[in-house]
Every structure is written in structure tokens, then in C-alpha cells.
Amino acid sequence: MSITTTETLSETTLLRFATAGSVDDGKSTLVGRLLHDSKSVLTDQLEAVERASASRGQDGPDLALLTDGLRAEREQGITIDVAYRYFATPRRRFILADTPGHVQYTRNMVTGASTAELTVILVDARNGVVEQTRRHAAIAALLRVPHVVLAVNKMDLVGYEESVFATIAEEFTAYATELGVPEVTAVPISALAGDNVVEPSANMDWYGGPTVLEHLETVPVSHDLAHCHARLPVQFVIRPQTTEHPDYRGYAGQIAAGTFRVGDSVAVLPSGRTTRISGIDLLGDPVDVAWTTQSVTVLLEDDIDVSRGDLIVPAKDAPAVTQDVEATVCHVADQPLVVGHRVLLKHGTRTVKAIVKDIPSRLTLDDLSLHPHPGQLAANDIGRVKIRTAEPLPVDSYADSRRTGSFILIDPNDGTTLTAGMVGESFASPEPVNDEPEDDGWDF
Amino acid sequence: MTTVAETATGGEGTDAPYALSHLDALESEAVHIFREVAGEFENPVILFSGGKDSILMLHLALKAFAPASIPFSLLHVDTGHNFPEVLEYRDRVVAEHGLRLHVASVQDYIDRGVLKERPDGTRNPLQTLPLTEKIQGERFDAVFGGGRRDEEKARAKERVFSLRDEFSQWDPRRQRPELWNLYNGRHAPGEHVRVFPLSNWTELDVWQYIAREGIELPEIYFAHEREVFRRAGMWLTAGEWGGAKDGETVEKRLVRYRTVGDMSCTGAVDSEATTLDAVIAEIAASRLTERGATRADDKLSEAAMEDRKREGYF
């Protein structure tokens, strides 16, 4: 391993996070400031933004233009898709899924949150917790994002008043906790003025917590693997069949959760046959132990039938194998999902035929009310579904394992990704069912 | 390669047990992508230019399938304006790993009169047709590209699995949401999927990983003396494609290349970095993106990359 010379260049950890909030909340300004103040915006990018801003008659560089990638977006002044941004500090590397606030909001935030370990939710200090804030909190809770940051923005416009911040932070934290969000960190900021984004604010002595960036740099990115169920979806069987490796037969995959050790007694699902791990190759090097999210090749003691789509699990900690899947879903396609729809379901590395048996309810994110038997789900709808699969699947509850508790539904005719699914209960602490009349009061 | 002893206690530079270092996390993600494609597609190919990103892709693919050989062939879109050092490198690695190399030649298309040389002499925009026809002709269903989302803002919204129609066209509105690490590679006959395993890498990550893994690169990536001339704010090298025109003077300078493409539109930068560590230090201090510094083709318009992507470019 070659040693690089300065602290900035040493290996560090990676945090994937998402932002939620609308332009009005100052999200683009916050993102722009994180990129700009961490010196991730380079001269030619800034010049391009300045040129574009000037050609539109704007006075200063509009940092929102850094995140508007496509011609259609610039022409219409909207953001139509999740954009990924990259920046680094000496302490950590960041991948930011920047989700737009307007069109296709739910779909984009669900997409961004699916791989995020942290979500920053913005509110305007003048408005406090509004309907949209509750939607954002609900999506973060549904997607089981481990860490949520509430950035109370525009503190400069409320005189940097502690009581304004405290009221909002308290209300939001109570709501998020009720939804099962395990950790909320509230930070009073002014993205425009730079208070508590990268540098601590001189205007809010009463706040003793971290700045947004300090929190991003220090929040834990690893989990307590001792309590995780070990899961390895088999992607590919490696058989060199060369004179050097005539009998090598390795099962390649990325460990979805937990830890595997040489000697572990394992079962291969869905068949349920058991054997022991005789070796683990970490990209060419033998190791004794490997953990999520390493990509490995596992060798087994017995010559049993294992192929792509199988799931290797500890013999004593295997998930239930079932053909009946109940899940919370977010519908992401323009064509609706209807009862009776024949689809493909991709879970881990296995894709099977499936049928949508029932859509028991649709969930309104504003107030978490449930609308029974909607018949179909349209784009950006969240709902409960019951699915029957053509073959048994080893599924975990999404609450236990984000990777082996999630799936996507695919249209078998045109290949469209229809729906994102999370197995099991929607929220960590379920809300009472509230049978209100159909309400189409939200518009995205 | 980090060892178990290091990583089990948190690893160098990491702040928690069992957290992967950023390079290990990016490596594992790229390997997962290669293996998904191997498991779901019939006839994948890696676009290989001999540039650092394609060299990195090949290195990751070799690791993903070790000790077996990689289940993909390579495709080089040859503009005819190649750096000789890069062609030599290409042929050497192909022989070393026993790989199958396809070549789509822009020169052939020009010789046959199908494509016409542009007045500015650059052949980058001419690569799209030979690439597309080679994909159709060989029935490649997955095509790995080394594109990274940090390169350019049209790329920032690119998927890891990017669906292309039978004309190789990219329609940003037809792209599928990508959730978790569940990639959807379904496509109709005649369509294919462009796959970008380096989507989440930055230029600095690429160089740090090359240094860590001790990956050999063509010499032009390191500072060397070269006869160059100034055009459109870049140092260009004369070659078969052309050279200095009236008013442009050739001078000898110490330079290196940050990207490697068609000689006619890939510029060198002034540099004294003769080692990987020196290159990394230079990049970390640079105030220009690699495309901004070295690619004339992206300066054509604000949407230059978006337009080329729509037409089937890399």
C-alpha cells in the first residue's frame, strides 16, 4: 500500500447522504455552500455558473445552477431528477444525493434515501414544521435512514432567536421519534450567511452543538454487526477450470449484512441445504473474516448446488422463505400499479415472476392517514401491497436489513422499474389506522 | 490492499470498526456492478481507450472474477489520432491477460466516405457512429464505460445502468430510478445498457486507488518534456492529425496529461509531477476540473456533453 503524504490524501470513510427540502427552504444554497466552503467547486465550474447567471441577467452566481444538469432543466428552471454530488474534507468523503423539491418529489426522495445513511431535512425558521417537513420525515422513517439532521434555516431572519429554534426542533424531534426515526440532530443555520454550515456561528452563542459539516464528518457510518443477520446474495459462480485452479468453485457476491467467518455453518436458500464456509477470498486475497459491504468470493466445504440468486445465510439465523410478500411500496413509474398486475420482482440477485394480489391501503404522507383499497397506485404513491411470487424467496423485514428486505417490481413487457418495496411494517412504531375519506389534496 | 488485522480494528484512517475505507467501499461497489452484469447479460464489453479510467475498470474486473479470467471482451474506438504510448500499452495488457479486443475504427469510416473529417480536425464527435454500429454488429448487450458523475454536470444524473435504444440514444426522461443496489438491466432486443461502474468515483479517488494498487499507467500521465503548441488555452501535441498553424509556435515544455483521448482535442497541462504521489498532490491542489483543463470538446457549449450523450456517445 503506498502511503500518501498529507492528511487530506489518506484513506478515510465514505458517507452517503441525501438532502430534502425545496428551493424556498434554501436547499440549493445549503448544498452550494457545502460544496463551495469545502472547496469542492472548482474554478471552471464556478466560471460556467457565473456565465450562465450573467446570461440570465442575475447579479451574482446562482449556486443552484451547480446542481441543474440538463438542458431541459435549465430551460424550464426545474430539477427533474436526483443529482449526485461529490465532495471531501480531510475527515471524510461524501456522496450527496440531491433530490429536487418539485416534480416527482416522493419518487426522487425515496431513490436518494434508499442508499443514504443520513438525510438532511430543511425547514424555514419562519415557517417551522409544515406539511412538507412531515412528508420528508415520513419518507426518511419509511426508508429507515439511520440518521436524520433537521437544519433549521434562515435563522438570520428570525433574529437568531433560540426559542424559535427550540420550538421547531422539539416539535420535529417528537414527530420523527414517533415514526421510529432512531436519531435526530437539529442544527440552527443560515445557509445564506454561512452560520453553522461549515463554520460555527458567531450569532448563536446559545447553540453548543456541531455545525452541519462537523456532524456529517463525525456521524458513525458503521453498524453493530454483532446484531446483524449475516446475508450474502450470490451474484455469480466463479469457476476458472484452469490447470492452476482445476476445482475452484467460488460464490461471488457483496455481503448485504453482517459478518461471515471461515468455518461458519451456513444454509443456502431457498433450498435450505447446509454446509460450512471453507474459505473466503477478498478480491483475490484469502481472509478469515469478511463483513458488509465487502465484495467477496465464498468457498463451501460440500459440493452442493448453488447458483446466482441464492442467498447464503448462517444456518442458525435464516430468514423465512415465502411466496407471500407483504410490503410498503413507493410507486415510481408513470403507469399505475394495479391489483392483478403481473410483474417481475427483483430481490437481492434473484428475479422472479410475481402477481400483485392486493393493495390494501394507500398512505397519505402529510398526516399518515390510510385510504383502504385504492385499487391502484399512481406515480409517487406510497401504499401497502400483497404480492404472490412464483418461487419462494428468503426475505427479511426491511427494518432488520435494508438490502435483503427491499425489492423492486419490473414491468415484464417494457422493463420499466415500477415500484420500490420494503418488506414488513411501514414504521418502527405503527400509527393507528385512520379511515378517512379519499383525499387528493396533494399535488405531486 | 488493506489486511484483515488493519480493517478489523477500524483500518487506517477509518473512525469505526467495520467501516470500509472510502476506496474499499468504492472498489466493492464497482465489483458488485461488474458481477451483476456478468450474471444478467449475455455479451458484455468494456470500452477500453487505454486512458486511466478504462485501465481502472479493467483492473477492477480482473479482481472481481479472480482467479478466473474476466467474462467480457474489450472494445477500443480508435480515432486514428492515438498517442503511440497508449496504443503500445493497450496491446501489451490485452496480450498479458489473454483478452479479446475489438476495434471500431474512425479512420475506416472516413476512408469509406461514411464520415467526413471536421474542419477543426477533431475526431471525438466522429466516434459515435463507429461505436454504435460495432455495438449493433457484435450484439453487445452491456457496454461498460468509465464515465464518472463528477466529470460533468450532464453525467451527474446518469444512472449506473443506463438504457440506450437501438440507435444508442440516451433519453434522460426514460432513465429508470435506481434504488438500493438493485439494478434493472431489462432491455428489448436491439437495445443495450451502458454500465458505469465508476459512477461514484472522483478524479482524486481514481488516482489514490491507482497509487494504492500499484496500477501501471501509460507514461504520458506523468510529467515529461514534449513539443507542444498553444490552442484554445491548451497545450496540444502535433501528430498525424495535424499541428501548429500560422501564429502558433511549437515549444518544448514539461507537461503531463490528465485525460487521454483524441490527440487533436486532448490538452496537456504544465506539470512537474513525475510520480503518482506528485500527481495526486497536484490534483488535490488543482482549481480546475479535469475536463475543464484538458478537453476542448466540452467547451463547445453549455450542453455539449448532454447533446453527445443523447446521440450515443460514451
Question: In Å, what is the CA distance from A394 to each residue of A5, A177, A247, A270, B168?
Answer: 47, 30, 29, 6, 37
Instruction: Please judge whether A4 and B4 are an interchain contact, meaning their C-beta atoms are less than 8 angstroms apart.
Output: no
Q: Give bridge partners of residue A186 from the DSSP assignment.
A: A150
**Chain B residue whose CA is closest to A96:** B200
What does residue A369 show for φ and ψ, rounded to 5 degrees?
Answer: -80, 150
In this prediction, residue A439 carries a pLDDT of 41
List, in order, residues 6 or more apart from A201 with CB less than 8 Å away: A155, A160, A188, A189, A190, A195, A207
Q: Does the beta-carbon distance from A2 to B211 stay under 8 Å?
A: yes
Q: Which of A33-42, A339-348, B76-85 has the lowest mean pLDDT?
A: A33-42
Q: How confident is the model at residue B148 (pLDDT cuts 50, 70, 90)?
A: very high
How high is the pLDDT of residue A45?
Answer: 65
Mean pLDDT confidence for B65-88: 91
Confidence grade of residue A62 (pLDDT, cut at 50, 70, 90): low
> What's the 3-state SS for chain A?
CCCCCCHHHCCCEEEEEEEECCHHHCHHHHHHHHHHHCCCCCHHHHHHHHHHHHHCCCCCCCHHHHHCCCHHHHHHCCCCCCEEEEEEECCEEEEEEECCCCCCHHHHHHHHHHCCCEEEEEEECCCCCCHHHHHHHHHHHHCCCCEEEEEEECHHHHCCCHHHHHHHHHHHHHHHHHCCCCCEEEEECECCCCECCCECCCCCCCCCCCCHHHHHHHCCCCCCHHHCCCEEECCEEECCCCCCCCCCCEEEEECCECEEECCCEEEEECCCEEEEEEEEEECCEEECEEECCCEEEEEECCCCCCCCCCEEEECCCCCCEEEEEEEEEEECCCCCEECCCEEEEEECCEEEEEEEEEEEEEEECCCCEEEECCCEECCCCEEEEEEEEEEEEECCCCCCCCCCCEEEEECCCCCCEEEEEEECCCCCCCCCCCECCCCCCCCC
What does the pLDDT read at residue B304? 59
Banded pLDDT at A149 (limits 50, 70, 90): very high
Task: Tell me what pLDDT residue A434 has.
Answer: 44
pLDDT of residue B124: 80
Distance of CA B68 to the CA centre of its chain: 24
pLDDT band with cut points at 50, 70 and 90 for residue B167:
confident
The predicted pLDDT at position A442 comes to 37
Average pLDDT in the B19-34 region?
A: 95
User: So what's the pLDDT on residue B235?
Assistant: 86
Query: Chain A contacts of B68, Cβ < 8 Å?
Result: 238-242, 245, 248
Task: Dig out the grid coordinates for B93 from the structure.
Answer: 495488457
Looking up cell 415465502 gives: A322
Among B8-17, B20-29, B135-144, B274-283, the least confident range: B8-17
Q: Is B281 on the interface with A (CB under 8 A)?
A: yes
Tell me the C-alpha distance between A419 and A380, whole Å: 9
pLDDT recorded at residue A274: 97
B87-90 long-range Cβ contacts below 8 angstroms, 24+ apart: B87/B50, B88/B218, B89/B50, B89/B55, B89/B217, B89/B218, B90/B48, B90/B50
Question: Does pLDDT of B78 surpass 60?
Answer: yes
Please state which of the ranges A180-189, A298-307, B36-45, B240-249 shows the lowest mean pLDDT. Answer: B240-249
Cα of A84 to nearest chain B Cα, Å = 5
Asked if the model's pLDDT at residue A119 lies above 90, the reply is yes
- Report percent pLDDT > 90 for chain A: 66
Summarize pLDDT for B234-247 with one digit per residue, the tens.
888 887 777 888 88
Residues 159-218 of chain B with CB under 8 A from chain A are 163, 172-173, 175-182, 184, 186-188, 199-200, 202, 204-205, 208, 211-212, 214
Enumerate the residues of chain B whose CB falls inside 8 A of the CB of residue A297.
66
Return the pLDDT at A435: 44
Is there a contact between B154 and A70 if contact means CB atoms under 8 Å apart? yes
Distance CA(B20)–CA(A402), nearest Å, equals: 18
Rounded CA gap, B288 and B286, in Å?
Answer: 6
A241 or A186: which carries more pLDDT confidence? A186
Q: pLDDT band at A227, cuts 50/70/90?
A: low
Task: Measure the CA–CA gap between A258 and B312, rounded to whole angstroms.
Answer: 41
pLDDT tens string A9-43:
578 899 999 998 766 778 878 888 888 777 666 66
pLDDT of B293 higher than 60:
no
Give B70's DSSP letter: P
Does A69 lie at the interface with B, CB-CB under 8 angstroms? yes
Distance CA A114, CA A420 (A): 9
Q: What is the pLDDT of residues B208-241, one digit of tens each?
A: 999 999 999 998 899 999 888 888 778 888 877 7
pLDDT interval class at B90 (50, 70, 90): very high
pLDDT at A203: 96
Choose the closest CB to B31 out of A71, A295, A407.
A295
One-letter amino acid of B126 = L
Q: How confident is the prediction for chain B on average, in pLDDT?
A: 84
CA dist list (Å): A52 to A61, A168, A254: 8, 37, 43
Examine the pLDDT at B156 and tell me if it is beyond 90.
Answer: no
Residue A344 cell numbers, joined? 417481475
3-state secondary structure at position B31: helix
Q: What is the pLDDT of residues A390-420, one digit of tens each?
A: 999 999 999 999 999 999 999 999 999 999 9
